[in-house]
Structure 1
């Protein structure tokens, strides 16, 4: 995982971390001010980290989604054929909220909520009453750059990132369901969600995770809506096996055993 940020001296810094089932490990901090805007240099930096960890150990690389990272990703995937890349899921969801925040009806609501918040915190008696009737709770006052926190302040429910593929489609279904009689109202929201999801975030690796998730795979009603995910899982297996016919055969065979809950999978 490459987590880029800019410090007070305007230096571009990147934290490199490795996630595995045991724990998340910090690898190093790099001053990338001289390389972050140059595709070849950025590719070399990412390549060096992959080689340090061991390319056979790396399944998935997560980075920013700026144009230079997208090009560096293509170079990385072309050299390491088993490797998957995707942009940071939290960042993509945040951008969805940014796009939604630009819609007139949303920006007006957020603006009014902000005015109410400022009024309460600038007047002692309303602030006293608010804390009295909320048991001492405070209103969340978001930083201007954090788009998603506006929606927490308005008490909208934010998707948990644990089961990404299913979560996105669940949100979409809920939006359509709630606006059955006002479909034209929800269209602009669905377009934002679909555009970000389809162009940036939907990866075969996420779909494979859905297929292998016990909570969904053995829920017949749920899985019936996403039968096409089998094809995406096969794509992942073929990419991982990368010409190893024996490994490919073993993996596809275990798919069947898993799907039918046979042998130890039945336990």
Structure 2
């Protein structure tokens, strides 16, 4: 009888989280604080011995597990090694597979994006992830061990084609994959390579000498110059921003008596770092770099975000980014013009696709804003883009004719699009919701609009999935066979997506723009960064230049020394084709780190050298 009346562990935990007040149960009233303390200690001791991150305590499934054990009562015997490894894992996979049915309903209604990304694990196996994105979220389909296959575009196309057949050809609107050799979206900022190189030498020199690093941390309030576990896109920007924030602390460090009395100050590398810290044009150029990069980081945050579809926003976001760059660098016209020209070249090469123009046309909040500004050329171009996309997604000529007439009604606010509510809601509700609410009489166009506007713009979910792979496939667990590794990731990744329980730790919150709630940590989270304590790259195999390339169903892809800083002119003339002079930053390798005045810090407090290696690249 008790089994039929008692609530399930999941119900108990959900009620506990949804309730505004915590109510003590009758059972708990008969238990002493000492009894609870003993149970808490046993849980904590297990975490300590097994090296499990403290973040695991925050997981909803941990609370469910504890409640389930409590409901079972005394005498519970945990599952065996074999049970956890085989039958229980199979049950978890089967339960996760049931989630797919919910996503399939959204795939039929809105269409979806098939995403893929490749990775080489610690055993040298080449694994390719496949995920599906729709307005409901991202679903991990599985991974393929492609180690025995010929690594070619044809191989990737065949794998993608098989996944499209599995999902349903009519439901896959686009395929977004990763091209490690062609990522150019943020490449324009490499024009700042001279000042970036000098900033890198400052951080590398400090982090290579433990006592100097400890002295720096004392002056910065235990803050690091190299930001912990930042993304590959934002590493340079965040580190330069940190340098500017701690500029005074660095200057005090290099004028201190401890520094002057150390052997490091007499090395060639030490002299160059000290000189750079006190050169005013260096800091001016670093600030210019930050002004130029922040707007692009915001665009990347929109593109890589999962909280809302990026397709309706990315076109306008890039235009807004260029506007911000012009405003931030208004005093250096030649500089911002060169940066904008580079961004335009990268955009036209990588992102100038009809889908983006069609999404802008179908985004009422943005489209009618451009129309009111009488931007006729832009309106004509994105109208052509919409027609191109429509003819590819809709093959029935009769439906094409209907949509053509409905586009005219939408453009000139006629019929259901001219109602007061439709006009008022253009900027107040989500574009997908707007079409669902106001596009009833234009059913064909409304369906097409929702399919286009719900698309994502990047394979960032694949990037986040590699964090799950690396968390499971560690150096100590590198003998996992691919099928079991795939099952573990399948169950863990999809359950986290379903419950929206990304276990992350907050770092200091730095606003991207004043009077805005967007922080740099938000940028990192939106791009897939892990911000846990260890300072290490999230993917050791990651390239610093990558691209998201759109594939069609029946086609292939449609689309990396100068003068000293003291000689940099005020207008920061950029040499895009010039090569930076390589300074010998290792000439101090044999110098005893005799920096006096501080104690030797504990080794575990030092950042992992792998991060510096990725930063060097």
| Pair 1:237 & 2:323 matched | no
1:141 aligns with: 227
Deviation at 1:170, TM superposition (A): 1.9
Post-superposition CA distance 1:14-44 (Å, at most 9, x none): 1101111112111111112233622332221
- What is the rounded CA distance, in whole Å, between the counterparts of 1:142 and 1:188 in structure 2? 31
Change (3 A) 1:184 1:98: same
Post-superposition CA distance 1:47-77 (Å, at most 9, x none): 101111111000010001358xxxxxxxxxx
CA radius of gyration, larger in: 2
Deviation at 1:199, TM superposition (A): 1.3
Structure 1 residue runs of 5 or longer lacking an equivalent are 68-90
1:206 aligns with: 356
Deviation at 1:127, TM superposition (A): 1.5
Equivalent residue of 2:186, what SS? helix
TM (normalized to structure 2)?
Answer: 0.35
Paired residues of 1:35 and 1:42 also in contact (CA < 8 A): no
| Pair 1:43 & 2:168 matched | no
1:79 aligns with: none
* Alignment equivalent of 2:220, drawn from 130, 133, 146: 130
1:4 aligns with: 118
1:251 aligns with: 403
1:190 aligns with: 340
Higher RCO, Cα 8 Å, sep 6+ = 2
Post-superposition CA distance 1:128-172 (Å, at most 9, x none): 3422xxxx7654436799243211223442123232111222222
Equivalent residue of 2:399, what SS? helix
Paired residues of 2:203 and 2:226 also in contact (CA < 8 A): no
Change (3 A) 1:222 1:125: farther
* Alignment equivalent of 1:16, drawn from 124, 130, 133: 130
- What is the rounded CA distance, in whole Å, between the counterparts of 2:210 and 2:237 in structure 1? 19
Structure 2 residue runs of 5 or longer lacking an equivalent are 1-114, 242-289, 304-309, 426-617
* Alignment equivalent of 2:186, drawn from 97, 103, 109: 97
1:262 aligns with: 418
- What is the rounded CA distance, in whole Å, between the counterparts of 2:173 and 2:196 in structure 1? 40
How much is the aligned-residue C-alpha RMSD, in angstroms?
Answer: 3.2
Deviation at 1:99, TM superposition (A): 4.9
Structure with more strand by fraction: 1
Deviation at 1:109, TM superposition (A): 5.2
Equivalent residue of 1:37, what SS? coil
Paired residues of 1:165 and 1:202 also in contact (CA < 8 A): no
